[in-house]
Amino acid sequence: MPALIELHDVSKSFGSVRAIRDVSLHVDEGEALGIVGPNGAGKTTLLSIIAGSLRADSGDVVFEGRDITRLPGHRHCREGIARTFQIPRPFGGLTAFENVLVGAMYGRSDGSGDRKQAAIASLERAHLLAKSNTLAGQLTLLERKRLELARALVTEPRVLLLDEIAGGLTEPEMNELIGTVQDLRAQGVSIVWIEHIVHALLSVVDRLVALAAGQKLIEGDPQAVIDSPELRDVYLGREL
């Protein structure tokens, strides 16, 4: 059975800076894939290429056997790929419910159905239903992260892309959010998660990919990747 998402030799440059270099990877149905690497490794660029907000200079992005490399971001979303952002940017003057309703109106592939009920269901899945009528600008950081999740979930994604969603949270808050991500995983949502907080990743993902200087460095069992000399060299330097 083919993978849900496949990247084949994907590259992306910004001027003279080559952010991604011939990266190939796959995500299977129901799998949680983690991506690690130092700052500047190309992690967010790779996520943006999968989401369609950036277009690869070369290589292919394949979703369910279909080449979506040149489709715009909104088409990626309607195909079933949704993402969250490292820094939440909700519409601060709208309530949490209204923010999610925007996603229900413009991000779903199927125009039928009750969008209001879809928004309510997504807020519940993200454990934010109690804050439905709170202005997004008044939410705590954890609640804004949950709002990011709810806005993505209302598009009914097959794959959820998480960009450092645990960043900036306290340990108890992070544990709460990890529990929510584990619930989504149990519901059958495939996940691609970029994160610097390693123990958060290890509690969720099945497989880990490490990037360095825009290239895939190592891939495999999460703990084995974290313990690998290759990853240690990237973070700490070979002389250590």
Residue-level pLDDT at 2 = 72
Q: What is the mean pLDDT of the chain?
A: 93
Secondary-structure class of domain 1-80+158-240 per CATH: alpha beta
Q: What is the pLDDT of residues 171-219, one digit of tens each?
A: 999 999 999 999 999 999 999 999 999 999 999 999 999 999 999 999 9
**Whole-prediction pTM value?**
0.93
Q: Confidence class of residue 240 from pLDDT cuts 50, 70 and 90?
A: very low
Q: What is the pLDDT of residues 83-120, one digit of tens each?
A: 999 999 999 999 999 999 999 988 876 655 689 999 99
- For the chain, percent of residues with pLDDT exceeding 90: 88
Specify the DSSP element, H or E, that contains 12. strand 5-14
80 neighbors 160 (Cβ within 8 angstroms): no
Asked if pLDDT for residue 238 goes beyond 60, the answer is no
| Gap between the Cα atoms of 162 and 230, Å rounded | 24
CATH 3.40.50.300 location in the chain: 1-80+158-240
